[in-house]
Structure 1
Amino acid sequence: MTGTITRRSARFRGDAVIDFTDDDLPAPAAGEVRLRVDVCALCGSDKRLLASGSPVVPGHEIAGTVVATGEGAQLPTGTRCIVYIPVFCGGCDQCRRGRTNRCLQLRELIGWQRDGGFADVVDVPERCALPVPDDIPQDVAVLGLDTVGTAAHGLRLALRTQDEQPRRLLVVGCGPLGLGVVAVARALGIESVDAFDPHPGRLALAGRLGAGTRVDLDPENQYDVTVEVSGAAPARDAAQRVVVPGGAVLALGESNEPYTMPATPRWRRTDCFTVRSFYFPLAEVEGNWDLLRRCGPDLRDVLAHPLTLPELARAFDRFVAGDLLKPYIVSGASA
């Protein structure tokens, strides 16, 4: 592809205002590929940009197809990819060891500091375009990013703290990431996976994915691993309270509130690990494809609701209201 094309993209102006622009886009830069956006899923973190506005096109859970390449890029046109959002350097010590999510030179996240996927096309560094296996459809592959990739990486870190496979694991918060944790924990063979959420409908979805459903988290010392996914202070308190001595609390939930540990005698006397993780490294991608083959289709069927780019504002209205759990913005080719 040479010359310019016109790209249709969403702009977040702040205060929940979304409008659309048609922008001239030059040929892809050297080392970059242009993707037709097949799927861009909404994420809870996008709500922050909806409120504050964004100088770039948001959208960071992207599956697309290569339609053009810049100088030096080798991916063939037609390659289906998911987009790895950390624009890692590839040369630092962490990157050379395959720990690209810990890049020491990380300055940009796609959809946050550079244009993302709420558009009909997006340009990304070729190293951030991860080819999708032929047997995994795009609407499942996109779950390999935040929903399964982040969940699996966090669980792998937490499980490393334990001398043996946990017998009991609890997920606190059954949004998309929490449901991803449920599905991945079961795929990893954890014997008993329970879930808690104050929203009965979301708790029922965890049950559909095979979790036991809990409505009472008052007793202490119940679970070998607890995974807090909401970021809410009461959920964090519950996750810390019910972990057994020697267990692990995995903090995946995000909020603007500081993460605190209770200054109680019980907590001070509890031998345990607190684990925080960010995204996943490229070294885990092959393992994540295997997890997606096992749990991805069921997760998609529980979570996804497809809409088109012109419906983005309505999708966010319903997403913020809690009517939709995981809206997918899909292209005409994927609808």
Structure 2
Amino acid sequence: MSGKMKAIVKHKRGYGAELQTVDIPKIHDGEVLIKVKATSICGTDVHIYTWDEWSRRRVNPPYVFGHEFSGEVVEIGAHVTSIKVGDFVSAETHIVCGACLQCLAGKFHICKNTKIVGVDTQGCFAEYVALPAGNLWRNPVDMDPDIASIQEPMGNAVHTVLSGDVAGKNMAIIGCGPIGLMAIAVAKAVGASTVLAIDINDYRLKLAKKMGASHTIHSKLIDPIAYVEQLTNGCGVDVVCEMSGHPTAIKQGFKMITNGGRLSILSLPSEPVEVNITEDIVFKGITVQGITGRLMFTTWQQVSNLLASGQVNIGSLITHHFPLNEFAKGFDLMIKGQCGKVILHP
């Protein structure tokens, strides 16, 4: 397919982005072209939009960014057999090499040569996106495109929560951005006995309650460590999922976890975080996990099953919709923290 399309372009090394008219991507033999139905704004996109320290080190404008979407396949490459025109798809956004030691061991999610869609490659804040066929996930034909577009971040939540035993456990979710909110719903669905939601944003703490949080803690008003101590009779929580990236919150996570507990970290702190390894890790005998992406494609199957079963309902997490040309409104809401998931419609 040839022609032009509208796209949100990270146009310079600095704050913001622009809506531009660019060429529709050309596909290679192993790729497909997808007409985007819905695309959602991620925290990573906000990092790029605001041009923080991480994005200054990582991305190279100008390029189309964005990585969460759903859409219809409109063209396939000469070597593509697994996908057909008309398929309704979303995408695993980590493009892996298939040749490093991690890939050869089946650990594709930690491929040493990973490229991330919309970070290292052209992204999906556009009318069309081109991707390797092997990265696509076929959705049920009757699935809401908005829900389909946020399966990728839900996969992050599922991977984080299910990286250890959850059933009957007390859990704390630190950071109630969209992925943290999804983690709350997932934790309750898979049998966590108590789920504490910790944040400093009243809007998102209200959403956390809607998503099933047993307790919400505004950590500027209530000492979360003292709250956990009282709630657990001094034992601490069994599992902490760190989603905030804030140094103070991360340190609090280490303090509130019980001896022998699990602390899974999905967040990306923008600066080094000092941790008391002796007292808070070694002597407590805890497991600390770094979580990156999704297990390919085990996590996608878990996400699909949880949604299909009705055990997890993430519809209420979507709070705003905008046409592509009003993207700045969506980013403004994300920056202010006055939204759940923001969906853009090309």
Name the TM-score, length of structure 2 as normaliser. 0.86
What does residue 287 of structure 1 align with? 302
**Conserved? CA contact 2:204–2:337, under 8 Å:** no
Aligned residue for 1:157, secondary structure, equals coil
**Conserved? CA contact 1:42–1:61, under 8 Å:** yes
1:113 to 117, 120, 123: 120
Confirm or deny that 1:151 pairs with 2:153: no
Q: CA RMSD of the aligned region, Å?
A: 2.2
2:95 to 65, 87, 93: 87
What does residue 18 of structure 2 align with? 19
What does residue 7 of structure 1 align with? 5
Which amino acid is 1:19 matched to?
E
The structure-2 alpha-carbon separation of the partners of 1:264 and 1:295, relative to structure 1 and needing over 3 Å to count, comes to: farther
Cα deviation, residue 38, structure 1 = 1.1
What CA distance in whole angstroms lies between the structure 1 residues aligned with 2:345 and 2:246?
31
Confirm or deny that 1:278 pairs with 2:299: no
What does residue 213 of structure 2 align with? 211
**Conserved? CA contact 2:175–2:242, under 8 Å:** yes
Q: Which stretches in structure 2 are left out of the alignment for 5+ residues?
A: 52-59, 230-234
Q: Deviations over 1:162-210 (max 9, x none)?
A: xx83521111111101101101111111122121112122111111111
Cα deviation, residue 16, structure 1 = 2.9
What does residue 139 of structure 1 align with? 146
Residue correspondences, number: 323
Q: Which residues of 2 match residues 1-335 of structure 1 at below 5 A?
A: 1=1, 4-12=2-10, 13-25=12-24, 27-52=26-51, 54-74=61-81, 75-95=83-103, 98-106=106-114, 108-146=115-153, 148-159=154-165, 165-215=167-217, 216=222, 217-219=224-226, 220=229, 221-262=235-276, 265=279, 269-284=283-298, 285-294=300-309, 298-331=313-346
Q: Deviations over 1:72-93 (max 9, x none)?
A: 1132111011111111133555
The structure-2 alpha-carbon separation of the partners of 1:296 and 1:168, relative to structure 1 and needing over 3 Å to count, comes to: closer
Query: Mean Cα displacement is larger for which, 228-237 or 6-15?
Result: 6-15
The structure-2 alpha-carbon separation of the partners of 1:94 and 1:173, relative to structure 1 and needing over 3 Å to count, comes to: same
Which amino acid is 1:322 matched to?
G
What CA distance in whole angstroms lies between the structure 2 residues aligned with 1:124 and 1:296?
31
The structure-2 alpha-carbon separation of the partners of 1:266 and 1:90, relative to structure 1 and needing over 3 Å to count, comes to: closer
The structure-2 alpha-carbon separation of the partners of 1:315 and 1:132, relative to structure 1 and needing over 3 Å to count, comes to: same
**Conserved? CA contact 1:11–1:18, under 8 Å:** yes
The structure-2 alpha-carbon separation of the partners of 1:25 and 1:243, relative to structure 1 and needing over 3 Å to count, comes to: same
What CA distance in whole angstroms lies between the structure 2 residues aligned with 1:272 and 1:120?
46
What CA distance in whole angstroms lies between the structure 1 residues aligned with 2:75 and 2:263?
44
What CA distance in whole angstroms lies between the structure 2 residues aligned with 1:29 and 1:109?
18
What CA distance in whole angstroms lies between the structure 1 residues aligned with 2:214 and 2:267?
20
**Conserved? CA contact 1:7–1:119, under 8 Å:** yes
What CA distance in whole angstroms lies between the structure 1 residues aligned with 2:290 and 2:25?
40
Q: Deviations over 1:129-182 (max 9, x none)?
A: 111123532211222201x201111222233xxxx8352111111110110110
What CA distance in whole angstroms lies between the structure 2 residues aligned with 1:102 and 1:204?
34
Identity %: 26
Q: Which stretches in structure 1 are left out of the alignment for 5+ residues?
A: none
Name the TM-score, length of structure 1 as normaliser. 0.89
**Conserved? CA contact 2:201–2:337, under 8 Å:** no
Query: Mean Cα displacement is larger for which, 114-123 or 260-269?
Result: 260-269
